């Protein structure tokens, strides 16, 4: 049985469930150093207007700045079905409500604008949301606004180290490390101009005190450009190359040989899947539009096309 026969259904389920999965994310109960460090501006604001549809919109009037400086009538645009943002943690959008807003600065050509800070994963919701009674976010932000200077070490309630690094005028600089004591992991890398840059490594503590690489993420001005996941043997199992509109995944066998390549164009909602044999020859190729197979090809052991199908 070809691997693709199993991979394709699973991948289709993943694609179709992205929105549902995102909507079921868990709200972050307490902020950490990375939440402060990876946002360019943080402020409270009054929600003036919102719109939902193919393109969503939220417009705010900033009130109190904690990091950076918000501008009057700040407007954020997003795609509800694509962007994993605060929308998945918020049930109601009521003009006049006070919010806490986390945003990042983006540059496209000659244009500079702000976007709501998205969640780095789909397990936790992103951070922007209405202010709560006795809000723990505001308590954390007040403290950070006072103390984000020089070299800092941060600890959890049990006294365990959770983060360490240096600030220059509230902005992270040079090398930082974030610890998860429960999982015995640490992720570390460098900041340049307040953004994650270059290689960031996620390491796990193994028996005997040895640290093993679990993931390597290569950042370009704060955005992940490439991600490498490693197996328990230390070999690469998955490589992802990311742009604003595409995601390409390379799945590898334990011996390092390429098993599958999946290229998804997020804007056009198309996917191209290639399955390779153990010798490296193409076995099967499929083209999807809106998660449905529209063309497929099969190849012989020499990599020659022998069958074509279309739906």
Task: Please say whether the dihedral angle defined by the alpha carbons of residues 111, 112, 117 and 120, taken in this order, is positive or negative.
Answer: positive
Q: What is the pTM of this model?
A: 0.83
Among 149-158, 257-266, 294-303, name the one with the lowest average pLDDT. 294-303
| Residues in a beta bridge with 284 | 275, 298
Residue 176 has pLDDT above 90, yes or no: yes
The pLDDT mean for the chain works out to 87
- Residue 55: band (very low, low, confident or very high) from pLDDT cuts 50, 70, 90: confident
Q: How far apart (Å, rounded) are the C-alpha atoms in residues 187 and 227?
A: 13
Q: How far apart (Å, rounded) are the C-alpha atoms in residues 50 and 298?
A: 49
Q: How far apart (Å, rounded) are the C-alpha atoms in residues 227 and 242?
A: 8
Please indicate whether residue 166 or residue 93 has the higher confidence score (pLDDT): 166
**Token pair belonging to 122:** 């789909």
Please indicate whether residue 32 or residue 91 has the higher confidence score (pLDDT): 32
Q: How far apart (Å, rounded) are the C-alpha atoms in residues 153 and 118?
A: 25
How confident is the model over 267-288, as pLDDT tens digits? 888 999 999 999 889 999 999 9
Cβ(195)–Cβ(219) below 8 Å: yes
- Residue 92: band (very low, low, confident or very high) from pLDDT cuts 50, 70, 90: confident
* pLDDT score, position 308: 67
Residue 82 has pLDDT above 70, yes or no: no
Q: Which domains does the chain have, with CATH numbers?
A: 31-147 (2.40.50.140)
Residue 138 has pLDDT above 50, yes or no: yes
């Amino acid at each position: 049985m070809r691997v693709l026969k199993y991979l394709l259904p699973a991948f289709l389920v993943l694609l179709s469930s992205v929105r549902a999965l995102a909507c079921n994310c868990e709200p972050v109960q307490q902020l950490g150093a990375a939440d402060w460090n990876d946002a360019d501006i943080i402020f409270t604001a009054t929600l003036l207007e919102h719109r939902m549809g193919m393109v969503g919109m939220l417009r705010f009037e900033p009130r109190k700045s904690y990091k950076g400086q918000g501008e009057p009538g700040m407007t954020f645009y997003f795609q509800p079905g694509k962007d994993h943002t605060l929308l998945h943690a918020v049930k109601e959008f009521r003009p006049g409500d006070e919010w806490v807003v986390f945003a990042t600065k983006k540059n496209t050509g000659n244009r500079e604008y702000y976007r709501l800070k998205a969640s780095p994963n789909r397990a936790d919701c992103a951070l922007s949301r209405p202010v709560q009674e006795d809000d723990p976010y505001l308590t954390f932000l007040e403290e950070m606004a006072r103390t984000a200077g020089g070299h800092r070490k941060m600890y959890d309630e049990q006294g365990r180290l959770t983060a360490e690094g240096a600030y220059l005028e509230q902005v992270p600089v040079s090398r930082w490390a974030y610890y998860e004591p429960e999982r015995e992991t640490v992720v570390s890398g460098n900041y340049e101009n307040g953004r994650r840059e270059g290689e960031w490594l996620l390491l796990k503590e193994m028996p005997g005190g040895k640290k093993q690489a679990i993931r390597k993420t290569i950042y370009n001005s704060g955005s992940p450009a490439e991600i490498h996941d490693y197996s328990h043997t230390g070999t690469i199992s998955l490589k992802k190359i990311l742009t604003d509109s595409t995601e390409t995944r390379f799945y590898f066998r334990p011996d390092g040989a390429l098993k599958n390549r999946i290229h998804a164009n997020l804007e056009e909602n198309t996917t191209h899947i290639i399955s390779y044999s153990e010798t490296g020859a193409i076995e099967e190729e499929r083209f999807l539009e809106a998660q449905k197979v529209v063309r497929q090809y099969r190849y012989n052991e020499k990599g020659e096309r022998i069958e074509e199908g279309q739906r």
